[in-house]
Structure 1
Amino acid sequence: MIIPQIIYILVCILFFTSSVCPAHSLESRNSSHQANQTFRPGEESQKLKTIRAHLTKVNKPAVKTIQSPDGDTIDCVLSHHQPAFDHAKLKGKKPLDPPERPKGHDTTGILPEEFQLWSMSGESCPEGTVPIRRTSEQDILRANSIGRFARKLRRPIRRDTTSNGHEHAVGYVSPELYGDNYPRFFTYWTSDAYQATGCYNLLCSGFVQTNNRIAIGAAISPTSSYNGGQFDISLLIWKDPKHGNWWLEFGSGILVGYWPSFLFTHLRNSASMVQFGGEVVNSRSGFHTTTQMGSGHFAGEGFGKASYFRNLQVVDWDNSLIPLSNLRVLADHPNCYDIQGGINRVWGNYFYYGGPGRNSRCP
Protein backbone atom coordinates (compact mmCIF):
# COMPACT_ATOMS: atom_id res chain seq x y z
CA MET A 1 0.00 0.00 0.00
CA ILE A 2 1.39 3.38 -0.98
CA ILE A 3 1.63 5.90 1.87
CA PRO A 4 -0.52 8.63 0.23
CA GLN A 5 -3.43 6.15 0.12
CA ILE A 6 -3.94 6.56 3.84
CA ILE A 7 -4.56 10.26 4.17
CA TYR A 8 -6.01 11.74 7.31
CA ILE A 9 -8.97 14.04 7.39
CA LEU A 10 -8.90 14.42 11.14
CA VAL A 11 -12.04 15.66 12.80
CA CYS A 12 -11.97 15.54 16.58
CA ILE A 13 -14.44 16.42 19.29
CA LEU A 14 -13.06 16.30 22.81
CA PHE A 15 -15.75 16.40 25.48
CA PHE A 16 -13.36 15.76 28.36
CA THR A 17 -10.21 17.78 27.89
CA SER A 18 -7.40 18.49 30.28
CA SER A 19 -4.12 19.71 28.92
CA VAL A 20 -1.06 20.22 31.06
CA CYS A 21 1.57 22.47 29.51
CA PRO A 22 5.22 21.44 30.01
CA ALA A 23 6.59 22.53 33.36
CA HIS A 24 9.77 24.59 33.31
CA SER A 25 12.33 24.67 36.09
CA LEU A 26 13.58 27.91 37.61
CA GLU A 27 16.87 27.43 35.77
CA SER A 28 15.12 27.11 32.41
CA ARG A 29 13.05 30.20 33.11
CA ASN A 30 16.14 32.15 34.12
CA SER A 31 18.10 31.03 31.08
CA SER A 32 15.14 31.89 28.89
CA HIS A 33 14.96 35.30 30.52
CA GLN A 34 18.67 35.87 29.95
CA ALA A 35 18.36 34.85 26.32
CA ASN A 36 15.62 37.39 25.89
CA GLN A 37 17.87 40.16 27.19
CA THR A 38 19.41 40.39 23.73
CA PHE A 39 16.72 42.59 22.22
CA ARG A 40 17.03 43.38 18.54
CA PRO A 41 14.54 46.15 17.67
CA GLY A 42 14.98 45.72 13.93
CA GLU A 43 14.32 41.98 13.99
CA GLU A 44 11.33 42.34 16.33
CA SER A 45 9.86 45.09 14.17
CA GLN A 46 10.21 42.96 11.02
CA LYS A 47 8.71 39.96 12.82
CA LEU A 48 5.64 41.96 13.82
CA LYS A 49 5.27 43.31 10.28
CA THR A 50 5.36 39.77 8.91
CA ILE A 51 2.81 38.57 11.46
CA ARG A 52 0.45 41.46 10.77
CA ALA A 53 0.70 40.87 7.02
CA HIS A 54 -0.25 37.23 7.62
CA LEU A 55 -3.16 38.26 9.84
CA THR A 56 -4.44 40.52 7.06
CA LYS A 57 -4.39 37.50 4.77
CA VAL A 58 -6.16 35.00 7.07
CA ASN A 59 -8.61 37.37 8.80
CA LYS A 60 -11.13 38.29 6.15
CA PRO A 61 -13.32 41.44 6.31
CA ALA A 62 -16.28 40.85 8.63
CA VAL A 63 -19.92 41.75 8.02
CA LYS A 64 -20.51 41.33 11.75
CA THR A 65 -18.29 40.59 14.77
CA ILE A 66 -19.31 38.61 17.88
CA GLN A 67 -17.38 38.45 21.15
CA SER A 68 -17.39 35.01 22.78
CA PRO A 69 -17.40 34.67 26.60
CA ASP A 70 -14.22 32.56 26.38
CA GLY A 71 -12.33 35.46 24.80
CA ASP A 72 -12.59 34.41 21.16
CA THR A 73 -13.63 36.90 18.51
CA ILE A 74 -15.92 35.47 15.84
CA ASP A 75 -16.08 37.24 12.48
CA CYS A 76 -19.08 36.72 10.18
CA VAL A 77 -17.45 36.61 6.75
CA LEU A 78 -19.22 36.46 3.39
CA SER A 79 -19.15 32.78 2.41
CA HIS A 80 -17.38 33.42 -0.90
CA HIS A 81 -14.71 35.52 0.84
CA GLN A 82 -13.60 32.76 3.25
CA PRO A 83 -9.96 31.56 2.98
CA ALA A 84 -10.83 28.54 0.81
CA PHE A 85 -11.61 30.85 -2.10
CA ASP A 86 -8.06 32.17 -2.13
CA HIS A 87 -7.22 28.90 -3.87
CA ALA A 88 -6.61 29.26 -7.61
CA LYS A 89 -9.15 26.53 -8.40
CA LEU A 90 -11.87 28.23 -6.35
CA LYS A 91 -11.35 31.91 -7.16
CA GLY A 92 -14.57 33.53 -8.36
CA LYS A 93 -16.70 30.55 -7.28
CA LYS A 94 -19.20 30.04 -4.48
CA PRO A 95 -19.88 27.14 -2.10
CA LEU A 96 -21.63 24.13 -3.62
CA ASP A 97 -25.19 23.09 -2.86
CA PRO A 98 -25.72 20.23 -0.37
CA PRO A 99 -25.13 16.73 -1.75
CA GLU A 100 -27.23 13.60 -1.37
CA ARG A 101 -26.90 12.13 2.14
CA PRO A 102 -25.82 8.51 2.54
CA LYS A 103 -28.65 5.97 2.58
CA GLY A 104 -29.65 4.91 6.07
CA HIS A 105 -28.59 8.20 7.63
CA ASP A 106 -30.83 9.30 10.50
CA THR A 107 -31.28 13.08 10.79
CA THR A 108 -34.02 13.02 13.42
CA GLY A 109 -31.68 13.77 16.32
CA ILE A 110 -31.99 17.14 18.03
CA LEU A 111 -28.97 19.43 18.42
CA PRO A 112 -29.31 22.37 20.85
CA GLU A 113 -29.38 25.81 19.30
CA GLU A 114 -26.52 26.84 21.55
CA PHE A 115 -23.74 24.26 21.35
CA GLN A 116 -20.73 26.58 21.17
CA LEU A 117 -19.83 29.29 23.66
CA TRP A 118 -19.79 32.12 21.12
CA SER A 119 -23.48 31.59 20.30
CA MET A 120 -24.70 31.68 23.91
CA SER A 121 -25.20 35.43 23.82
CA GLY A 122 -28.00 34.91 21.33
CA GLU A 123 -25.95 36.53 18.56
CA SER A 124 -25.62 34.74 15.23
CA CYS A 125 -24.09 35.24 11.82
CA PRO A 126 -26.39 36.41 8.99
CA GLU A 127 -27.35 34.11 6.12
CA GLY A 128 -24.74 34.13 3.39
CA THR A 129 -21.88 34.42 5.89
CA VAL A 130 -19.78 31.90 7.82
CA PRO A 131 -18.49 32.35 11.41
CA ILE A 132 -14.69 32.28 11.58
CA ARG A 133 -12.61 32.48 14.76
CA ARG A 134 -10.33 35.51 14.36
CA THR A 135 -6.60 34.79 14.52
CA SER A 136 -4.62 37.10 16.81
CA GLU A 137 -0.96 38.07 17.10
CA GLN A 138 -0.77 36.00 20.28
CA ASP A 139 -1.98 32.90 18.41
CA ILE A 140 0.92 33.15 15.96
CA LEU A 141 3.50 34.09 18.60
CA ARG A 142 2.64 30.91 20.56
CA ALA A 143 3.67 28.88 17.51
CA ASN A 144 7.08 30.64 17.39
CA SER A 145 6.86 31.08 13.61
CA ILE A 146 4.32 31.63 10.85
CA GLY A 147 5.57 28.45 9.20
CA ARG A 148 4.55 26.37 12.23
CA PHE A 149 1.30 28.19 12.90
CA ALA A 150 -1.83 26.13 12.18
CA ARG A 151 0.30 23.16 11.13
CA LYS A 152 0.95 19.81 12.74
CA LEU A 153 4.50 18.59 12.92
CA ARG A 154 5.26 15.99 10.28
CA ARG A 155 4.65 12.45 11.49
CA PRO A 156 4.31 9.05 9.86
CA ILE A 157 0.90 7.70 8.87
CA ARG A 158 -0.45 5.45 11.60
CA ARG A 159 -0.53 1.79 10.56
CA ASP A 160 1.20 -0.28 13.28
CA THR A 161 2.68 0.14 16.76
CA THR A 162 5.52 2.42 15.63
CA SER A 163 4.34 5.74 17.01
CA ASN A 164 7.40 8.02 16.84
CA GLY A 165 6.39 9.92 19.97
CA HIS A 166 2.68 10.05 19.12
CA GLU A 167 0.66 7.76 21.36
CA HIS A 168 -2.77 6.53 20.40
CA ALA A 169 -5.76 4.76 21.82
CA VAL A 170 -7.17 3.73 18.48
CA GLY A 171 -8.58 13.78 20.14
CA TYR A 172 -5.98 16.06 19.95
CA VAL A 173 -5.45 19.01 22.34
CA SER A 174 -3.63 22.11 21.17
CA PRO A 175 -3.09 24.80 23.82
CA GLU A 176 -0.42 26.19 21.49
CA LEU A 177 -3.03 26.94 18.84
CA TYR A 178 -5.74 28.38 21.10
CA GLY A 179 -3.95 29.43 24.29
CA ASP A 180 -6.43 27.73 26.65
CA ASN A 181 -7.82 24.34 27.65
CA TYR A 182 -11.40 24.64 26.37
CA PRO A 183 -12.67 21.56 24.50
CA ARG A 184 -13.08 22.59 20.86
CA PHE A 185 -14.55 21.27 17.65
CA PHE A 186 -11.83 21.44 15.03
CA THR A 187 -10.69 19.92 11.76
CA TYR A 188 -7.34 19.16 10.19
CA TRP A 189 -6.48 17.96 6.69
CA THR A 190 -3.34 16.97 4.82
CA SER A 191 -2.72 15.28 1.49
CA ASP A 192 0.96 14.39 1.90
CA ALA A 193 1.34 13.07 5.44
CA TYR A 194 1.89 16.53 6.97
CA GLN A 195 4.90 17.39 4.81
CA ALA A 196 3.78 20.55 3.01
CA THR A 197 -0.03 20.65 2.80
CA GLY A 198 -2.88 21.11 5.21
CA CYS A 199 -3.91 23.14 8.24
CA TYR A 200 -6.36 23.38 11.10
CA ASN A 201 -9.87 24.70 10.53
CA LEU A 202 -10.05 27.53 7.96
CA LEU A 203 -6.49 28.75 8.43
CA CYS A 204 -5.49 28.01 4.84
CA SER A 205 -7.15 27.46 1.48
CA GLY A 206 -8.81 24.07 1.80
CA PHE A 207 -12.04 23.37 3.65
CA VAL A 208 -15.09 25.21 2.28
CA GLN A 209 -17.58 26.09 5.02
CA THR A 210 -21.27 26.29 4.08
CA ASN A 211 -22.89 26.80 7.49
CA ASN A 212 -23.49 30.02 9.45
CA ARG A 213 -24.09 28.38 12.85
CA ILE A 214 -20.80 26.60 13.54
CA ALA A 215 -17.41 28.22 14.06
CA ILE A 216 -14.78 25.57 13.43
CA GLY A 217 -12.19 25.76 16.20
CA ALA A 218 -14.59 27.39 18.67
CA ALA A 219 -15.22 26.05 22.18
CA ILE A 220 -17.97 23.47 22.72
CA SER A 221 -20.71 23.81 25.33
CA PRO A 222 -22.09 22.00 27.23
CA THR A 223 -19.40 19.44 28.01
CA SER A 224 -19.52 16.14 29.84
CA SER A 225 -18.44 15.90 33.46
CA TYR A 226 -16.93 12.98 35.37
CA ASN A 227 -19.70 10.94 36.99
CA GLY A 228 -22.17 13.59 35.81
CA GLY A 229 -24.05 14.63 32.69
CA GLN A 230 -22.83 13.12 29.43
CA PHE A 231 -23.06 14.90 26.06
CA ASP A 232 -22.09 13.59 22.67
CA ILE A 233 -22.37 14.81 19.10
CA SER A 234 -22.62 12.78 15.93
CA LEU A 235 -20.19 13.36 13.08
CA LEU A 236 -20.43 12.16 9.51
CA ILE A 237 -17.80 12.45 6.78
CA TRP A 238 -18.63 11.05 3.37
CA LYS A 239 -17.69 11.39 -0.26
CA ASP A 240 -20.30 12.95 -2.54
CA PRO A 241 -20.71 10.38 -5.35
CA LYS A 242 -21.61 13.09 -7.86
CA HIS A 243 -18.77 15.61 -7.42
CA GLY A 244 -16.26 13.64 -5.35
CA ASN A 245 -15.94 16.19 -2.53
CA TRP A 246 -15.66 15.07 1.10
CA TRP A 247 -18.49 16.55 3.19
CA LEU A 248 -18.67 17.05 6.95
CA GLU A 249 -21.90 16.93 8.93
CA PHE A 250 -22.07 17.99 12.58
CA GLY A 251 -24.90 16.82 14.84
CA SER A 252 -27.86 15.47 12.93
CA GLY A 253 -28.43 17.15 9.61
CA ILE A 254 -26.20 20.23 9.95
CA LEU A 255 -23.80 20.37 7.01
CA VAL A 256 -20.62 22.20 7.98
CA GLY A 257 -18.95 22.16 4.56
CA TYR A 258 -16.58 20.13 2.42
CA TRP A 259 -13.00 19.42 1.40
CA PRO A 260 -12.79 19.80 -2.41
CA SER A 261 -11.64 16.59 -4.13
CA PHE A 262 -8.82 18.42 -5.95
CA LEU A 263 -6.98 18.81 -2.62
CA PHE A 264 -6.16 15.11 -2.63
CA THR A 265 -4.64 12.35 -4.73
CA HIS A 266 -5.95 8.89 -3.80
CA LEU A 267 -8.81 10.36 -1.76
CA ARG A 268 -10.25 11.73 -4.99
CA ASN A 269 -11.51 8.20 -5.53
CA SER A 270 -11.95 6.56 -2.13
CA ALA A 271 -10.50 6.08 1.34
CA SER A 272 -8.67 2.95 2.41
CA MET A 273 -8.69 3.42 6.17
CA VAL A 274 -10.88 5.05 8.83
CA GLN A 275 -9.60 5.68 12.35
CA PHE A 276 -11.44 6.79 15.49
CA GLY A 277 -9.82 7.60 18.80
CA GLY A 278 -7.48 9.84 20.73
CA GLU A 279 -4.00 11.18 20.15
CA VAL A 280 -1.57 12.85 22.53
CA VAL A 281 1.91 14.04 21.58
CA ASN A 282 4.51 12.65 23.99
CA SER A 283 7.61 14.63 23.06
CA ARG A 284 9.25 14.75 26.48
CA SER A 285 12.42 12.77 27.03
CA GLY A 286 13.05 10.78 30.20
CA PHE A 287 9.47 10.61 31.46
CA HIS A 288 5.97 10.47 30.10
CA THR A 289 3.79 13.53 29.57
CA THR A 290 1.03 14.26 32.09
CA THR A 291 -1.33 15.32 29.30
CA GLN A 292 -4.62 13.48 29.73
CA MET A 293 -6.45 11.74 26.92
CA GLY A 294 -10.24 11.93 26.89
CA SER A 295 -11.51 12.37 30.45
CA GLY A 296 -8.16 11.40 31.92
CA HIS A 297 -9.66 8.09 33.10
CA PHE A 298 -9.09 4.60 31.77
CA ALA A 299 -11.58 2.80 29.54
CA GLY A 300 -12.46 0.24 32.23
CA GLU A 301 -14.32 2.87 34.26
CA GLY A 302 -17.03 2.88 31.61
CA PHE A 303 -19.97 5.21 31.02
CA GLY A 304 -19.99 8.54 32.81
CA LYS A 305 -16.30 8.34 33.60
CA ALA A 306 -14.38 7.37 30.47
CA SER A 307 -14.65 9.00 27.05
CA TYR A 308 -16.24 7.02 24.24
CA PHE A 309 -17.14 6.71 20.56
CA ARG A 310 -20.36 4.90 19.66
CA ASN A 311 -22.50 3.90 16.66
CA LEU A 312 -19.41 3.60 14.48
CA GLN A 313 -20.30 3.13 10.82
CA VAL A 314 -18.74 3.63 7.39
CA VAL A 315 -20.16 4.69 4.02
CA ASP A 316 -19.72 2.06 1.31
CA TRP A 317 -19.37 2.27 -2.50
CA ASP A 318 -23.16 2.55 -2.86
CA ASN A 319 -23.32 5.65 -0.60
CA SER A 320 -24.93 3.59 2.17
CA LEU A 321 -24.11 3.63 5.88
CA ILE A 322 -23.13 0.16 7.09
CA PRO A 323 -21.89 -1.21 10.45
CA LEU A 324 -18.19 -1.84 10.92
CA SER A 325 -17.13 -5.38 10.09
CA ASN A 326 -13.48 -5.38 11.15
CA LEU A 327 -12.98 -2.90 13.99
CA ARG A 328 -9.65 -3.43 15.72
CA VAL A 329 -8.65 -1.60 18.89
CA LEU A 330 -5.10 -0.76 19.86
CA ALA A 331 -3.34 1.31 22.51
CA ASP A 332 0.39 1.95 22.20
CA HIS A 333 1.02 2.06 25.97
CA PRO A 334 -2.06 0.78 27.86
CA ASN A 335 -0.59 1.75 31.24
CA CYS A 336 -0.77 5.37 30.09
CA TYR A 337 -3.88 5.33 27.87
CA ASP A 338 -6.04 2.33 27.02
CA ILE A 339 -9.08 1.28 25.01
CA GLN A 340 -11.89 -1.29 25.28
CA GLY A 341 -14.29 -2.06 22.44
CA GLY A 342 -17.69 -3.72 22.29
CA ILE A 343 -20.99 -3.99 20.43
CA ASN A 344 -24.65 -3.94 21.49
CA ARG A 345 -28.07 -3.17 20.06
CA VAL A 346 -28.24 0.40 21.34
CA TRP A 347 -24.70 1.68 20.72
CA GLY A 348 -23.74 -0.60 17.83
CA ASN A 349 -19.94 -0.71 17.57
CA TYR A 350 -18.41 1.37 20.36
CA PHE A 351 -15.31 1.80 22.49
CA TYR A 352 -14.20 3.56 25.64
CA TYR A 353 -10.73 5.09 25.67
CA GLY A 354 -8.36 7.45 27.46
CA GLY A 355 -6.16 7.73 30.49
CA PRO A 356 -4.14 10.05 32.74
CA GLY A 357 -0.77 9.83 31.02
CA ARG A 358 2.07 9.69 33.54
CA ASN A 359 1.17 7.71 36.66
CA SER A 360 2.76 5.02 38.90
CA ARG A 361 2.46 2.42 36.12
CA CYS A 362 3.42 4.88 33.37
CA PRO A 363 6.51 6.74 34.64
Structure 2
Amino acid sequence: MQVCRTIYGDDRTRLFIYYTVDNYGTGCYNLKCSGFVQTNRKIVLGGSIAPLSVYNGPQYDITLKIERHAKTGNWWLVFGNGNIVGYWPASLFRELKGEAYFAHFGGEVINLKTRGSHTTTQMGSGHFDTEGYRKAAYIRNMQVAVNSPNVWIDLPEPEYTMEKENCYAIKGRYSKSWGNYIYFGGPGKNADCP
Protein backbone atom coordinates (compact mmCIF):
# COMPACT_ATOMS: atom_id res chain seq x y z
CA MET A 1 0.00 0.00 0.00
CA GLN A 2 1.19 3.50 -0.72
CA VAL A 3 0.24 7.09 0.02
CA CYS A 4 1.99 9.50 -2.34
CA ARG A 5 0.60 12.94 -3.14
CA THR A 6 3.27 13.61 -5.80
CA ILE A 7 2.20 10.56 -7.84
CA TYR A 8 -1.58 10.49 -7.27
CA GLY A 9 -2.45 14.07 -6.27
CA ASP A 10 -4.10 13.09 -2.95
CA ASP A 11 -3.49 11.35 0.37
CA ARG A 12 -5.54 8.19 -0.23
CA THR A 13 -4.06 4.75 0.43
CA ARG A 14 -3.49 2.87 -2.82
CA LEU A 15 -2.51 -0.58 -4.06
CA PHE A 16 0.70 -0.21 -6.02
CA ILE A 17 3.55 -2.12 -7.60
CA TYR A 18 7.07 -0.98 -8.22
CA TYR A 19 9.91 -2.84 -9.83
CA THR A 20 13.55 -2.18 -10.53
CA VAL A 21 16.00 -4.27 -12.50
CA ASP A 22 19.14 -2.40 -11.41
CA ASN A 23 18.89 -1.94 -7.63
CA TYR A 24 16.90 1.30 -7.82
CA GLY A 25 19.02 2.90 -10.53
CA THR A 26 15.80 3.01 -12.53
CA GLY A 27 12.34 1.71 -11.78
CA CYS A 28 8.67 1.94 -12.53
CA TYR A 29 5.42 2.40 -10.59
CA ASN A 30 2.26 0.57 -11.60
CA LEU A 31 1.81 0.63 -15.38
CA LYS A 32 3.76 3.84 -16.08
CA CYS A 33 6.19 1.97 -18.31
CA SER A 34 6.30 -1.34 -20.10
CA GLY A 35 7.26 -4.31 -18.02
CA PHE A 36 4.41 -5.54 -15.86
CA VAL A 37 1.70 -7.24 -17.94
CA GLN A 38 -1.72 -6.77 -16.35
CA THR A 39 -4.16 -9.59 -17.12
CA ASN A 40 -6.99 -8.59 -14.75
CA ARG A 41 -8.62 -5.23 -15.38
CA LYS A 42 -10.88 -5.46 -12.29
CA ILE A 43 -7.98 -4.76 -9.92
CA VAL A 44 -6.64 -1.25 -10.45
CA LEU A 45 -2.94 -0.75 -9.82
CA GLY A 46 -2.68 2.69 -8.27
CA GLY A 47 -6.37 2.50 -7.27
CA SER A 48 -7.50 3.50 -3.79
CA ILE A 49 -8.16 0.81 -1.18
CA ALA A 50 -11.16 0.66 1.16
CA PRO A 51 -12.00 -0.05 3.89
CA LEU A 52 -8.85 0.90 5.80
CA SER A 53 -7.82 -0.22 9.26
CA VAL A 54 -8.58 2.28 12.01
CA TYR A 55 -6.24 3.05 14.91
CA ASN A 56 -7.54 1.07 17.91
CA GLY A 57 -10.53 0.04 15.79
CA PRO A 58 -11.41 -2.44 13.02
CA GLN A 59 -8.47 -4.03 11.19
CA TYR A 60 -8.51 -5.18 7.54
CA ASP A 61 -6.07 -7.52 5.82
CA ILE A 62 -5.10 -7.82 2.16
CA THR A 63 -3.39 -10.94 0.88
CA LEU A 64 -0.67 -10.57 -1.76
CA LYS A 65 1.52 -13.27 -3.31
CA ILE A 66 4.21 -13.28 -5.94
CA GLU A 67 4.65 -16.68 -7.56
CA ARG A 68 7.13 -17.83 -10.16
CA HIS A 69 5.67 -19.89 -13.02
CA ALA A 70 7.77 -23.05 -13.42
CA LYS A 71 7.67 -23.22 -17.24
CA THR A 72 7.79 -19.56 -18.28
CA GLY A 73 9.76 -18.16 -15.33
CA ASN A 74 7.34 -15.20 -15.19
CA TRP A 75 6.61 -13.73 -11.75
CA TRP A 76 2.84 -13.54 -11.12
CA LEU A 77 1.11 -11.13 -8.73
CA VAL A 78 -1.89 -12.65 -6.93
CA PHE A 79 -4.30 -10.44 -4.95
CA GLY A 80 -6.75 -11.67 -2.33
CA ASN A 81 -8.11 -15.17 -2.69
CA GLY A 82 -6.50 -16.20 -5.98
CA ASN A 83 -7.18 -13.14 -8.15
CA ILE A 84 -4.30 -13.03 -10.63
CA VAL A 85 -3.44 -9.40 -11.39
CA GLY A 86 -0.70 -9.99 -13.97
CA TYR A 87 2.99 -10.78 -14.23
CA TRP A 88 6.51 -9.49 -14.58
CA PRO A 89 8.09 -11.31 -17.56
CA ALA A 90 11.18 -13.35 -16.72
CA SER A 91 13.03 -11.44 -19.46
CA LEU A 92 12.97 -8.25 -17.30
CA PHE A 93 15.29 -9.65 -14.69
CA ARG A 94 18.86 -10.72 -15.23
CA GLU A 95 19.29 -12.02 -11.68
CA LEU A 96 15.94 -13.81 -11.17
CA LYS A 97 16.36 -16.67 -13.61
CA GLY A 98 15.71 -19.54 -11.22
CA GLU A 99 15.02 -18.07 -7.82
CA ALA A 100 14.98 -14.97 -5.69
CA TYR A 101 17.79 -14.48 -3.20
CA PHE A 102 15.81 -12.48 -0.66
CA ALA A 103 12.37 -10.96 0.00
CA HIS A 104 11.61 -7.65 1.70
CA PHE A 105 8.51 -7.05 3.82
CA GLY A 106 7.74 -3.81 5.63
CA GLY A 107 7.30 -0.12 5.15
CA GLU A 108 9.20 2.64 3.44
CA VAL A 109 9.18 6.42 3.71
CA ILE A 110 10.87 8.54 1.10
CA ASN A 111 12.58 11.58 2.61
CA LEU A 112 13.48 14.00 -0.16
CA LYS A 113 15.16 16.34 2.33
CA THR A 114 18.90 15.77 2.27
CA ARG A 115 19.66 18.46 4.84
CA GLY A 116 17.94 19.74 7.94
CA SER A 117 15.20 17.96 9.81
CA HIS A 118 13.69 14.56 9.04
CA THR A 119 10.33 14.35 7.26
CA THR A 120 7.11 14.44 9.27
CA THR A 121 5.75 11.67 7.05
CA GLN A 122 4.45 8.83 9.19
CA MET A 123 4.79 5.13 8.41
CA GLY A 124 1.73 2.93 8.83
CA SER A 125 -0.61 4.35 11.48
CA GLY A 126 2.12 6.70 12.66
CA HIS A 127 2.59 4.64 15.84
CA PHE A 128 5.56 2.52 16.89
CA ASP A 129 5.66 -1.28 16.79
CA THR A 130 5.52 -1.53 20.59
CA GLU A 131 1.84 -0.53 20.58
CA GLY A 132 0.99 -3.83 18.85
CA TYR A 133 -2.27 -5.02 17.31
CA ARG A 134 -4.92 -2.47 16.32
CA LYS A 135 -2.42 0.36 16.80
CA ALA A 136 0.78 -0.32 14.83
CA ALA A 137 0.91 -1.41 11.19
CA TYR A 138 1.44 -5.13 10.67
CA ILE A 139 2.18 -7.74 8.04
CA ARG A 140 1.36 -11.34 8.92
CA ASN A 141 1.83 -14.79 7.44
CA MET A 142 5.02 -13.72 5.67
CA GLN A 143 6.12 -16.71 3.62
CA VAL A 144 8.31 -17.56 0.67
CA ALA A 145 7.78 -20.23 -1.97
CA VAL A 146 10.21 -23.03 -2.63
CA ASN A 147 10.31 -25.66 -5.37
CA SER A 148 7.81 -25.97 -8.17
CA PRO A 149 4.87 -25.91 -7.89
CA ASN A 150 5.15 -23.19 -5.27
CA VAL A 151 5.26 -24.68 -1.77
CA TRP A 152 4.89 -21.91 0.82
CA ILE A 153 7.05 -22.01 3.95
CA ASP A 154 7.62 -19.67 6.88
CA LEU A 155 10.62 -17.37 6.56
CA PRO A 156 13.66 -19.51 7.40
CA GLU A 157 15.85 -16.88 9.13
CA PRO A 158 14.22 -13.45 9.06
CA GLU A 159 16.30 -10.35 9.78
CA TYR A 160 14.70 -7.12 10.96
CA THR A 161 16.31 -3.78 10.18
CA MET A 162 15.35 -0.13 10.54
CA GLU A 163 17.31 2.85 9.25
CA LYS A 164 15.89 5.61 11.46
CA GLU A 165 15.13 3.88 14.76
CA ASN A 166 13.94 7.01 16.57
CA CYS A 167 11.63 7.90 13.69
CA TYR A 168 10.26 4.42 12.91
CA ALA A 169 10.59 0.96 14.42
CA ILE A 170 9.98 -2.72 13.61
CA LYS A 171 9.62 -5.88 15.68
CA GLY A 172 9.42 -9.40 14.28
CA ARG A 173 7.58 -12.25 15.95
CA TYR A 174 6.14 -15.70 15.28
CA SER A 175 2.86 -17.35 16.31
CA LYS A 176 0.97 -20.43 15.13
CA SER A 177 -1.99 -18.38 13.90
CA TRP A 178 -0.03 -15.52 12.26
CA GLY A 179 3.19 -17.31 11.27
CA ASN A 180 6.07 -14.86 10.84
CA TYR A 181 4.76 -11.34 11.37
CA ILE A 182 5.94 -7.83 12.05
CA TYR A 183 4.62 -4.74 13.73
CA PHE A 184 6.13 -1.58 12.31
CA GLY A 185 5.64 2.15 11.92
CA GLY A 186 6.30 5.49 13.51
CA PRO A 187 5.56 9.21 13.34
CA GLY A 188 8.63 10.41 11.47
CA LYS A 189 9.98 13.66 12.89
CA ASN A 190 9.49 13.82 16.67
CA ALA A 191 11.42 14.89 19.80
CA ASP A 192 13.81 11.93 19.41
CA CYS A 193 13.98 12.18 15.61
CA PRO A 194 14.92 15.77 14.75
Query: Normalised by the shorter chain, which TM-score bucket?
Result: over 0.9
- Give the Cα–Cα distance (whole angstroms) in 2 for the partners of residues 195 and 334 of structure 1: 26
| Correspondence 1:178 to 2:1 | no
| Correspondence 1:311 to 2:141 | yes
| Correspondence 1:266 to 2:99 | no
Which of residues 344, 356, 361 in structure 1 aligns to 2:187?
356
Instruction: Check whether the contact 2:3–2:12 (CA below 8 A) recurs between aligned residues.
Output: no
Residue of structure 2 equivalent to 1:168: none
Instruction: Check whether the contact 2:12–2:48 (CA below 8 A) recurs between aligned residues.
Output: yes
- Give the Cα–Cα distance (whole angstroms) in 1 for the partners of residues 78 and 92 of structure 2: 19
- Give the Cα–Cα distance (whole angstroms) in 1 for the partners of residues 12 and 81 of structure 2: 23
Larger RCO (CA within 8 A; separation ≥ 6): 1
| Correspondence 1:279 to 2:108 | yes
Q: Which amino acid aligns with 1:224?
A: S
Shift of residue 300 of structure 1?
0.5
- Give the Cα–Cα distance (whole angstroms) in 2 for the partners of residues 267 and 174 of structure 1: 29
Instruction: Check whether the contact 1:293–1:354 (CA below 8 A) recurs between aligned residues.
Output: yes
Q: 1:320-360 deviations in whole A, cap 9, x for unaligned?
A: 11111101111112211001111111101101000000111
Greater helix proportion: 1
Instruction: Check whether the contact 2:39–2:86 (CA below 8 A) recurs between aligned residues.
Output: yes
Cα gap change, 1:334 to 1:187, in 2 (>3 Å): same
Query: What are the residue-to-residue correspondences of 1:125-164 with 2, within 5 Å?
Result: none
Q: 1:186-225 deviations in whole A, cap 9, x for unaligned?
A: 00111112334x3111111111111131010000011111
Q: Which amino acid aligns with 1:240?
A: H
Q: Say which SS state the counterpart of residue 25 (structure 2) adopts.
A: coil
Q: Say which SS state the counterpart of residue 296 (structure 1) adopts.
A: coil
Q: Say which SS state the counterpart of residue 349 (structure 1) adopts.
A: strand
Residue of structure 2 equivalent to 1:346: 177
Shift of residue 269 of structure 1?
2.2
Residue of structure 2 equivalent to 1:66: none
Shift of residue 311 of structure 1?
0.4
- Give the Cα–Cα distance (whole angstroms) in 2 for the partners of residues 258 and 216 of structure 1: 12
Instruction: Check whether the contact 1:188–1:201 (CA below 8 A) recurs between aligned residues.
Output: yes
- Please, which runs of 5 or more residues in structure 1 have no aligned partner? 1-12, 14-171
Q: Say which SS state the counterpart of residue 86 (structure 2) adopts.
A: strand
Residue of structure 2 equivalent to 1:50: none
| Correspondence 1:331 to 2:162 | yes
Q: Say which SS state the counterpart of residue 256 (structure 1) adopts.
A: strand
Residue of structure 2 equivalent to 1:234: 63
Q: 1:209-250 deviations in whole A, cap 9, x for unaligned?
A: 111310100000111111111001010001111110000000
Residue of structure 2 equivalent to 1:250: 79
Aligned residues with identical type, % of pairs:
53
Q: Which amino acid aligns with 1:337?
A: Y
Q: What RMSD, in angstroms, separates the aligned Cα atoms of the two structures?
A: 1.1
Q: Which amino acid aligns with 1:298?
A: F
- Give the Cα–Cα distance (whole angstroms) in 2 for the partners of residues 264 and 199 of structure 1: 14
Query: Following TM superposition, where does structure 1 have runs of at least 4 consecutive aligned residues deviating by more than 6 angstroms?
Result: none
Query: What are the residue-to-residue correspondences of 1:291-306 with 2, within 5 Å?
Result: 291-306=121-136
Q: TM-score, normalised by structure 2?
A: 0.95
Q: Say which SS state the counterpart of residue 266 (structure 1) adopts.
A: coil
Residue of structure 2 equivalent to 1:187: 17
- Give the Cα–Cα distance (whole angstroms) in 1 for the partners of residues 77 and 85 of structure 2: 6
Q: Say which SS state the counterpart of residue 300 (structure 1) adopts.
A: helix
Shift of residue 307 of structure 1?
0.3
Q: TM-score, normalised by structure 1?
A: 0.52
Instruction: Check whether the contact 1:173–1:280 (CA below 8 A) recurs between aligned residues.
Output: no
Q: Say which SS state the counterpart of residue 238 (structure 1) adopts.
A: strand
Instruction: Check whether the contact 2:128–2:187 (CA below 8 A) recurs between aligned residues.
Output: yes
Query: What are the residue-to-residue correspondences of 1:48-59 with 2, within 5 Å?
Result: none
Q: Which amino acid aligns with 1:242?
A: K
- Please, which runs of 5 or more residues in structure 2 have no aligned partner? none
